[in-house]
């Protein structure tokens, strides 16, 4: 079957097969786009955390909490740093490739095909050279963000950071695997 359908959709399974299978697909060299003509420097989680801690809004809250709790700025800065470290992603391409292999195998057993619009993904890739792109998956099964991540990997799009419920952190193995695949953790509900 030709992988390009008349409505512009392509079956991702055929791309994986043409590459030589799941192992060949996940180990192929990647060439993620440059932003504004420059190679994007991947910022380390610690660098992002320090940048957040220096923002005026965080500093204001730390000052207010110092007064409320009668403690030092250092204590609250350290506490804030620990909170940010616990929720931050630590994306690692080797882990992404390993999980990508397992996902590719699993998705094949669950679905008959994964179809996407190649032209639209190429347009998104062009946009990502100048601006950050935000994907808003809506399916509650988590398959949508997993498949979006695989398609980004396939199309050399910047790999997405993924908002993940904090309940996944309870499982050390799953939580750390998701963290290394780009998950950052959030409460599902606030104020309860």
pLDDT higher than threshold 70 for residue 43: no
Instruction: For residue 120, give both structure tokens.
Output: 């639209």
Q: Is residue 145 part of a domain?
A: yes
Contact between residue 72 and residue 142 where contact means Cβ atoms under 8 Å apart:
no
Distance CA 102, CA 96 (A): 10
pLDDT at 76: 94
Q: How confident is the model at residue 74 (pLDDT cuts 50, 70, 90)?
A: very high
- My answer on whether 97 and 83 are in the same domain is no
- My answer on whether 78 and 98 are in the same domain is no
Distance CA 138, CA 143 (A): 10
Contact between residue 137 and residue 144 where contact means Cβ atoms under 8 Å apart:
yes
How many structural domains are present in the chain?
A: 2
- My answer on whether 115 and 154 are in the same domain is yes
């Amino acid at each position: 079957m030709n992988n390009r359908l008349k409505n512009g959709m392509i079956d991702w399974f055929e791309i994986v097969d043409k590459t030589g299978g799941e192992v060949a697909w996940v180990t192929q060299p990647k060439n993620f786009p440059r932003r504004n003509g420059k190679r994007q420097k991947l910022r380390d989680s610690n660098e992002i955390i320090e940048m957040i801690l220096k923002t005026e809004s965080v500093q204001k809250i730390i000052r207010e909490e110092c007064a409320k709790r009668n403690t030092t700025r250092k204590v609250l800065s350290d506490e804030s740093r620990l909170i940010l470290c616990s929720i931050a992603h630590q994306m690692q391409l080797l882990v992404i490739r390993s999980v990508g292999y397992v996902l590719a195998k699993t998705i094949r057993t669950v679905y008959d095909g994964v179809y996407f619009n190649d032209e639209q993904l190429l347009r998104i890739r062009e946009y990502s050279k100048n601006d950050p792109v935000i994907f808003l998956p809506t399916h509650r099964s988590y398959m949508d963000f997993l498949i979006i991540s695989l398609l980004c990997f396939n199309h050399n799009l910047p790999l997405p950071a993924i908002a993940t419920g904090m309940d996944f952190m309870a499982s050390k193995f799953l939580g750390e695997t998701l963290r290394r695949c780009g998950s950052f953790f959030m409460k599902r509900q606030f104020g309860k």
